[in-house]
Amino acid sequence: MYAAKESHGLRLYDSELDRNSPQRLALIADLRRAVERGELTVAYQPKVDPRTGRVVGAEALARWHHPEQGPIPPDVFIPLAEHSGLVWPLTLHVLDRALRSRAEWARAGHDLHVAVNLSPNSLLDAALPDLVARLLEATGNPARALTLEITESTILTDPAGSLATLERLHALGVEISIDDFGTGYSSLGRLRELPLHEVKIDKSFVQRVAADHRDRAVVRSAVQLGHALDLRVVAEGVEDADTYAYLAAEGCDVVQGYLLSRPLPAEEFTAWLHIHSRNVTHTFG
Ligand code: C2E
Ligand code: MG
Ligand code: MG
Ligand code: MG
Protein backbone atom coordinates (compact mmCIF):
# COMPACT_ATOMS: atom_id res chain seq x y z
CA MET A 1 0.00 0.00 0.00
CA TYR A 2 2.51 2.57 1.12
CA ALA A 3 5.02 1.56 -1.55
CA ALA A 4 2.35 2.04 -4.19
CA LYS A 5 1.52 5.48 -2.89
CA GLU A 6 5.17 6.51 -2.86
CA SER A 7 5.77 5.27 -6.36
CA HIS A 8 2.75 7.20 -7.63
CA GLY A 9 3.94 10.29 -5.82
CA LEU A 10 1.53 13.18 -5.47
CA ARG A 11 -1.02 11.80 -7.83
CA LEU A 12 -2.58 9.61 -5.18
CA TYR A 13 -2.44 12.22 -2.47
CA ASP A 14 -5.94 13.62 -3.00
CA SER A 15 -7.86 10.44 -3.49
CA GLU A 16 -6.32 7.86 -1.20
CA LEU A 17 -4.33 9.65 1.47
CA ASP A 18 -6.88 12.37 1.98
CA ARG A 19 -9.67 9.87 2.47
CA ASN A 20 -7.56 8.08 5.06
CA SER A 21 -5.85 11.09 6.56
CA PRO A 22 -5.30 10.85 10.33
CA GLN A 23 -7.47 13.93 10.89
CA ARG A 24 -10.37 12.44 8.98
CA LEU A 25 -10.07 9.07 10.71
CA ALA A 26 -9.89 10.76 14.12
CA LEU A 27 -13.01 12.79 13.32
CA ILE A 28 -14.84 9.61 12.27
CA ALA A 29 -13.83 7.95 15.56
CA ASP A 30 -15.14 10.98 17.48
CA LEU A 31 -18.37 10.95 15.48
CA ARG A 32 -18.83 7.23 16.17
CA ARG A 33 -18.47 7.89 19.89
CA ALA A 34 -20.87 10.83 19.76
CA VAL A 35 -23.49 8.79 17.86
CA GLU A 36 -23.12 5.81 20.21
CA ARG A 37 -23.51 8.03 23.26
CA GLY A 38 -26.49 9.86 21.77
CA GLU A 39 -24.64 13.20 21.94
CA LEU A 40 -25.89 14.59 18.66
CA THR A 41 -28.65 17.12 19.13
CA VAL A 42 -31.41 18.34 16.87
CA ALA A 43 -32.23 21.95 15.98
CA TYR A 44 -35.65 22.99 14.66
CA GLN A 45 -36.45 25.60 12.05
CA PRO A 46 -40.08 26.73 11.63
CA LYS A 47 -42.00 26.35 8.36
CA VAL A 48 -44.64 29.07 7.94
CA ASP A 49 -47.66 29.60 5.66
CA PRO A 50 -46.93 33.04 4.17
CA ARG A 51 -50.62 33.82 3.65
CA THR A 52 -51.58 33.49 7.31
CA GLY A 53 -48.24 33.68 9.12
CA ARG A 54 -49.08 30.43 10.88
CA VAL A 55 -46.42 27.85 11.71
CA VAL A 56 -47.29 24.62 9.92
CA GLY A 57 -44.24 22.56 10.77
CA ALA A 58 -40.55 22.45 11.55
CA GLU A 59 -37.47 20.92 9.96
CA ALA A 60 -35.24 18.86 12.23
CA LEU A 61 -31.53 19.49 11.56
CA ALA A 62 -28.78 17.40 13.16
CA ARG A 63 -26.16 19.24 15.24
CA TRP A 64 -22.80 17.98 16.47
CA HIS A 65 -20.83 19.93 19.03
CA HIS A 66 -17.32 18.47 19.03
CA PRO A 67 -15.69 18.60 22.51
CA GLU A 68 -12.52 20.29 21.21
CA GLN A 69 -13.41 21.63 17.78
CA GLY A 70 -16.81 23.10 18.62
CA PRO A 71 -19.76 22.89 16.22
CA ILE A 72 -19.09 20.78 13.10
CA PRO A 73 -21.52 21.56 10.24
CA PRO A 74 -23.82 18.77 8.97
CA ASP A 75 -22.41 19.29 5.48
CA VAL A 76 -19.17 17.88 6.98
CA PHE A 77 -20.38 15.17 9.38
CA ILE A 78 -23.30 13.75 7.37
CA PRO A 79 -20.99 12.68 4.49
CA LEU A 80 -18.55 11.27 7.08
CA ALA A 81 -21.41 9.27 8.60
CA GLU A 82 -22.50 8.08 5.16
CA HIS A 83 -19.02 6.75 4.41
CA SER A 84 -18.41 5.07 7.75
CA GLY A 85 -21.61 3.15 8.38
CA LEU A 86 -22.89 5.64 10.96
CA VAL A 87 -25.74 7.17 9.03
CA TRP A 88 -28.31 4.56 10.07
CA PRO A 89 -27.91 5.05 13.86
CA LEU A 90 -27.68 8.80 13.25
CA THR A 91 -30.94 8.80 11.27
CA LEU A 92 -32.70 6.75 13.95
CA HIS A 93 -31.50 9.14 16.64
CA VAL A 94 -32.73 12.21 14.75
CA LEU A 95 -36.06 10.54 13.92
CA ASP A 96 -36.58 9.56 17.54
CA ARG A 97 -35.71 13.02 18.88
CA ALA A 98 -37.80 14.78 16.24
CA LEU A 99 -40.88 12.63 16.87
CA ARG A 100 -40.60 13.09 20.64
CA SER A 101 -40.39 16.87 20.17
CA ARG A 102 -43.33 16.84 17.79
CA ALA A 103 -45.44 14.95 20.35
CA GLU A 104 -44.56 17.62 22.95
CA TRP A 105 -45.65 20.43 20.63
CA ALA A 106 -48.93 18.60 20.01
CA ARG A 107 -49.51 18.22 23.77
CA ALA A 108 -48.97 21.98 24.09
CA GLY A 109 -51.65 22.56 21.44
CA HIS A 110 -49.45 23.02 18.34
CA ASP A 111 -50.45 20.56 15.62
CA LEU A 112 -47.30 20.77 13.47
CA HIS A 113 -45.56 18.34 11.18
CA VAL A 114 -41.88 17.61 11.67
CA ALA A 115 -39.55 17.07 8.73
CA VAL A 116 -36.49 14.80 8.91
CA ASN A 117 -33.77 14.62 6.24
CA LEU A 118 -32.83 11.22 4.84
CA SER A 119 -29.52 10.52 3.16
CA PRO A 120 -29.31 7.95 0.34
CA ASN A 121 -28.21 5.01 2.50
CA SER A 122 -31.06 5.39 4.96
CA LEU A 123 -33.74 5.70 2.30
CA LEU A 124 -32.42 2.62 0.56
CA ASP A 125 -32.39 0.54 3.74
CA ALA A 126 -35.31 -1.88 3.43
CA ALA A 127 -35.82 -1.77 7.21
CA LEU A 128 -36.76 1.94 7.17
CA PRO A 129 -40.57 1.76 6.74
CA ASP A 130 -41.06 -0.72 9.62
CA LEU A 131 -38.76 1.29 11.81
CA VAL A 132 -40.61 4.50 11.05
CA ALA A 133 -43.91 2.77 11.86
CA ARG A 134 -42.54 1.59 15.22
CA LEU A 135 -41.14 5.01 16.13
CA LEU A 136 -44.42 6.72 15.25
CA GLU A 137 -46.28 4.34 17.51
CA ALA A 138 -43.75 4.54 20.36
CA THR A 139 -43.86 8.35 20.35
CA GLY A 140 -47.65 8.57 19.90
CA ASN A 141 -47.59 10.47 16.59
CA PRO A 142 -49.92 10.07 13.60
CA ALA A 143 -48.04 9.20 10.38
CA ARG A 144 -49.19 12.42 8.69
CA ALA A 145 -47.17 14.37 11.26
CA LEU A 146 -43.90 13.13 9.76
CA THR A 147 -42.38 14.45 6.54
CA LEU A 148 -39.26 12.81 5.15
CA GLU A 149 -37.03 15.04 3.00
CA ILE A 150 -35.05 13.32 0.28
CA THR A 151 -33.02 14.76 -2.57
CA GLU A 152 -33.26 14.08 -6.27
CA SER A 153 -29.77 12.55 -6.22
CA THR A 154 -30.92 10.03 -3.61
CA ILE A 155 -33.66 8.86 -5.96
CA LEU A 156 -31.27 8.71 -8.89
CA THR A 157 -28.87 6.50 -6.88
CA ASP A 158 -31.37 3.63 -7.10
CA PRO A 159 -34.70 4.61 -8.71
CA ALA A 160 -36.34 1.18 -8.33
CA GLY A 161 -35.20 0.70 -4.73
CA SER A 162 -36.25 4.18 -3.67
CA LEU A 163 -39.65 3.86 -5.35
CA ALA A 164 -40.33 0.63 -3.45
CA THR A 165 -39.43 2.22 -0.10
CA LEU A 166 -41.32 5.44 -0.86
CA GLU A 167 -44.44 3.44 -1.65
CA ARG A 168 -44.26 1.63 1.68
CA LEU A 169 -43.77 4.92 3.54
CA HIS A 170 -46.64 6.44 1.58
CA ALA A 171 -48.86 3.49 2.55
CA LEU A 172 -48.12 4.28 6.21
CA GLY A 173 -49.31 7.85 5.65
CA VAL A 174 -45.90 9.51 5.99
CA GLU A 175 -45.34 12.50 3.67
CA ILE A 176 -42.40 12.76 1.29
CA SER A 177 -40.66 15.97 0.25
CA ILE A 178 -38.10 16.56 -2.51
CA ASP A 179 -35.39 18.73 -0.93
CA ASP A 180 -33.08 21.12 -2.80
CA PHE A 181 -35.46 21.01 -5.76
CA GLY A 182 -34.02 22.52 -8.93
CA THR A 183 -30.45 21.40 -8.35
CA GLY A 184 -30.77 17.79 -9.47
CA TYR A 185 -31.94 17.80 -13.10
CA SER A 186 -34.95 15.56 -12.34
CA SER A 187 -37.16 14.89 -15.27
CA LEU A 188 -40.77 15.86 -14.90
CA GLY A 189 -41.86 12.35 -15.77
CA ARG A 190 -39.80 10.79 -13.01
CA LEU A 191 -41.24 13.09 -10.33
CA ARG A 192 -44.75 12.32 -11.45
CA GLU A 193 -44.19 8.60 -10.86
CA LEU A 194 -43.26 9.07 -7.20
CA PRO A 195 -45.70 9.26 -4.27
CA LEU A 196 -44.71 12.81 -3.25
CA HIS A 197 -46.44 15.51 -1.18
CA GLU A 198 -44.02 18.42 -1.27
CA VAL A 199 -41.18 20.07 -3.18
CA LYS A 200 -38.71 22.41 -1.51
CA ILE A 201 -37.20 24.94 -3.88
CA ASP A 202 -33.47 25.12 -3.21
CA LYS A 203 -32.25 28.19 -1.36
CA SER A 204 -29.74 29.01 -4.10
CA PHE A 205 -32.68 30.14 -6.29
CA VAL A 206 -34.75 31.64 -3.49
CA GLN A 207 -31.97 33.83 -2.16
CA ARG A 208 -31.56 35.75 -5.42
CA VAL A 209 -35.20 36.27 -6.46
CA ALA A 210 -35.10 39.95 -5.55
CA ALA A 211 -31.95 40.55 -7.62
CA ASP A 212 -32.05 38.15 -10.56
CA HIS A 213 -34.91 37.75 -13.06
CA ARG A 214 -33.63 34.29 -14.06
CA ASP A 215 -34.01 33.04 -10.49
CA ARG A 216 -37.48 34.58 -10.39
CA ALA A 217 -38.31 32.53 -13.50
CA VAL A 218 -36.99 29.33 -11.88
CA VAL A 219 -38.98 29.95 -8.69
CA ARG A 220 -42.17 30.86 -10.53
CA SER A 221 -42.03 27.78 -12.74
CA ALA A 222 -41.18 25.53 -9.76
CA VAL A 223 -44.28 26.82 -7.94
CA GLN A 224 -46.43 26.22 -11.04
CA LEU A 225 -44.95 22.79 -11.69
CA GLY A 226 -45.41 21.76 -8.05
CA HIS A 227 -49.04 22.89 -8.04
CA ALA A 228 -49.71 21.20 -11.40
CA LEU A 229 -48.53 17.96 -9.75
CA ASP A 230 -50.75 18.65 -6.68
CA LEU A 231 -47.74 19.18 -4.44
CA ARG A 232 -47.20 21.59 -1.57
CA VAL A 233 -44.45 24.02 -2.57
CA VAL A 234 -41.95 25.17 0.05
CA ALA A 235 -39.23 27.80 -0.37
CA GLU A 236 -36.14 27.47 1.84
CA GLY A 237 -33.55 30.17 2.55
CA VAL A 238 -35.96 33.12 2.89
CA GLU A 239 -33.82 35.85 4.43
CA ASP A 240 -35.64 39.14 3.77
CA ALA A 241 -39.12 40.64 3.63
CA ASP A 242 -39.03 41.31 -0.14
CA THR A 243 -38.39 37.65 -0.88
CA TYR A 244 -41.16 36.66 1.55
CA ALA A 245 -43.63 39.00 -0.17
CA TYR A 246 -42.62 37.77 -3.63
CA LEU A 247 -43.11 34.12 -2.63
CA ALA A 248 -46.47 34.86 -1.02
CA ALA A 249 -47.60 36.65 -4.20
CA GLU A 250 -46.46 33.71 -6.37
CA GLY A 251 -48.62 31.34 -4.33
CA CYS A 252 -45.82 29.51 -2.53
CA ASP A 253 -47.46 27.41 0.23
CA VAL A 254 -44.76 27.40 2.88
CA VAL A 255 -41.63 29.44 3.57
CA GLN A 256 -38.62 28.70 5.73
CA GLY A 257 -35.52 30.77 6.43
CA TYR A 258 -33.53 33.07 8.68
CA LEU A 259 -36.17 35.85 8.25
CA LEU A 260 -38.53 33.75 10.38
CA SER A 261 -35.96 32.04 12.56
CA ARG A 262 -32.62 30.29 12.48
CA PRO A 263 -32.73 26.61 13.44
CA LEU A 264 -33.15 26.60 17.24
CA PRO A 265 -32.35 24.10 20.01
CA ALA A 266 -35.50 22.21 21.11
CA GLU A 267 -36.29 24.33 24.21
CA GLU A 268 -35.75 27.62 22.36
CA PHE A 269 -37.95 26.43 19.51
CA THR A 270 -40.78 25.65 21.92
CA ALA A 271 -40.46 29.14 23.44
CA TRP A 272 -40.41 30.71 19.95
CA LEU A 273 -43.54 28.75 19.04
CA HIS A 274 -45.48 30.04 22.05
CA ILE A 275 -44.52 33.65 21.38
CA HIS A 276 -45.12 33.41 17.65
CA SER A 277 -48.55 31.80 17.96
CA ARG A 278 -49.67 34.64 20.23
CA ASN A 279 -48.69 37.15 17.53
CA VAL A 280 -49.83 35.21 14.51
CA THR A 281 -51.17 38.28 12.71
CA HIS A 282 -47.55 39.31 12.24
CA THR A 283 -46.75 37.90 8.80
CA PHE A 284 -43.10 38.92 8.33
CA GLY A 285 -43.88 40.48 4.93
P1 C2E B 1 -31.18 21.09 3.95
O2 C2E B 1 -32.00 19.92 4.35
O3 C2E B 1 -31.43 21.66 2.61
O4 C2E B 1 -31.40 22.14 5.11
C5 C2E B 1 -31.43 23.52 4.92
C6 C2E B 1 -30.13 24.17 5.34
O7 C2E B 1 -30.22 25.56 5.09
C8 C2E B 1 -29.82 24.05 6.83
O9 C2E B 1 -28.39 24.00 6.97
C10 C2E B 1 -30.36 25.38 7.38
O11 C2E B 1 -29.75 25.76 8.60
C12 C2E B 1 -29.97 26.29 6.27
N13 C2E B 1 -30.83 27.49 6.22
C14 C2E B 1 -32.08 27.64 6.66
N15 C2E B 1 -32.56 28.88 6.42
C16 C2E B 1 -31.56 29.55 5.80
C17 C2E B 1 -31.45 30.89 5.29
O18 C2E B 1 -32.35 31.72 5.36
N19 C2E B 1 -30.27 31.20 4.69
C20 C2E B 1 -29.24 30.31 4.60
N21 C2E B 1 -28.12 30.72 4.01
N22 C2E B 1 -29.32 29.04 5.06
C23 C2E B 1 -30.47 28.67 5.66
P24 C2E B 1 -27.68 22.96 7.93
O25 C2E B 1 -28.45 22.80 9.20
O26 C2E B 1 -26.25 23.37 8.01
O27 C2E B 1 -27.81 21.60 7.14
C28 C2E B 1 -27.18 21.42 5.91
C29 C2E B 1 -27.62 20.14 5.24
O30 C2E B 1 -27.19 19.01 6.02
C31 C2E B 1 -29.13 19.99 5.14
O32 C2E B 1 -29.60 20.72 4.03
C33 C2E B 1 -29.27 18.50 4.99
O34 C2E B 1 -29.03 18.13 3.66
C35 C2E B 1 -28.12 17.98 5.84
N36 C2E B 1 -28.65 17.52 7.14
C37 C2E B 1 -28.88 18.22 8.27
N38 C2E B 1 -29.38 17.40 9.25
C39 C2E B 1 -29.46 16.17 8.70
C40 C2E B 1 -29.89 14.88 9.17
O41 C2E B 1 -30.35 14.71 10.32
N42 C2E B 1 -29.80 13.82 8.30
C43 C2E B 1 -29.34 13.99 7.03
N44 C2E B 1 -29.28 12.92 6.23
N45 C2E B 1 -28.94 15.17 6.54
C46 C2E B 1 -29.00 16.25 7.36
MG1 MG C 1 -33.95 19.50 4.31
MG1 MG D 1 -32.88 21.96 1.33
MG1 MG E 1 -29.59 21.80 1.16
Q: How far is the CA of 167 from the centre of ligand 4 (A)?
A: 24
**pTM higher than 0.90, yes or no?**
yes
**pLDDT digits 0-9 by tens, 192-220:** 889 999 999 999 999 999 889 999 999 99
Going by alpha carbons, the residue nearest to atom 33 of ligand 1 is 117
Percent of the chain with pLDDT over 90: 76
- Which of 44, 94, 117 is the pocket-test mutation for ligand 1 (most atoms within 8 Å of CB)? 117
- Which of 122, 236, 243 is the pocket-test mutation for ligand 1 (most atoms within 8 Å of CB)? 236
Atom index in ligand 1 nearest the CA of residue 63 equals 38
Residue type at 71?
P
Q: How confident is the model at residue 283 (pLDDT cuts 50, 70, 90)?
A: low
Q: Span 59-83, mean pLDDT?
A: 96
**pLDDT digits 0-9 by tens, 88-127:** 999 999 999 999 999 999 999 999 999 999 998 889 888 9
Q: How far is the CA of 149 from the centre of ligand 2 (A)?
A: 6
- Is this prediction's ipTM beyond 0.90? yes
Going by alpha carbons, the residue nearest to atom 46 of ligand 1 is 117
Which one is predicted more confidently, 205 or 10?
205
Q: How far is the CA of 150 from the centre of ligand 2 (A)?
A: 7
